[in-house]
Amino acid sequence: MVPDSFKGLVEIVYSDFVRINPHVPYRYDLKMVLRLVKWGRKEWTFWFRCAQYKSWWQSFAIRRFKKISRRLLIEIPLKTEIGYGLFIGHPHCIVINGGTKIGNNVNLSHSLTIGTNNETPAVIGDCVYIGPMCCIVEDVRIGNNVTIGAGSVVIKDIEDDATAAGVPARIINHNNPGRFIKNRFQL
């Protein structure tokens, strides 16, 4: 989701912040912005959202976003559609195709690759946990409330409310798949 107004930008940045720090006693104020800028490893999501927002300071935000992306080895183009409440547990070594659509309240882990060779990128639903060192290849649809285990290679669609793991990834059960999605941002 690309913010189209300043209020929309604040709302989406706040949604990411709530996923990381659920005990936020304030909303939409200067303290929140100062904490976001000093976020350390988590500042990538703040600058990604700011760089997507078209404003007079967008060029500064893009420069800052690119600098942090190089340092963390993250390649996610600004045209990538990412919903509310993005949580990146360990923001290192992540490559995502620019056409990928990612839903709300999604957890991404380190060493993740979401790619395509045929301009048919993946579509990821809401409340999805993607474990470390996963590969999601080509035109794959991942449903809502899905857990993908560490080291999985996803080459086929995964239905809603499922847990998948393995190489290639197979659905292993339907028992409590959303258990790793904590602090969900309520839309």
Q: Give me the residue spans of the domains in the chain.
A: 1-72, 76-180
User: Could you read off the pLDDT of 17-58 as tens digits, one per residue?
Assistant: 888 776 665 555 556 666 666 655 578 888 899 899 888 888
Query: CA 82 to CA 85: how far, in whole Å?
Result: 9
Q: Which CATH superfamily is domain 76-180 in?
A: Hexapeptide repeat proteins (2.160.10.10)
User: Could you read off the pLDDT of 54-111 as tens digits, one per residue?
Assistant: 888 889 999 999 999 999 999 999 999 999 989 998 888 999 998 999 999 999 999 9
Neighbouring CB atoms inside 10 A of 51's CB total 20
At 156, give phi and psi (nearest 5°).
-130, 160
Q: Considering the entire predicted model, what is its pTM?
A: 0.88
What residue ranges in 59-125 does DSSP mark as E strands?
Answer: 74-75, 81-82, 87-88, 94-96, 101-102, 107-108, 112-115, 123-124
Cα four-point dihedral sign 126, 186, 107, 1? positive
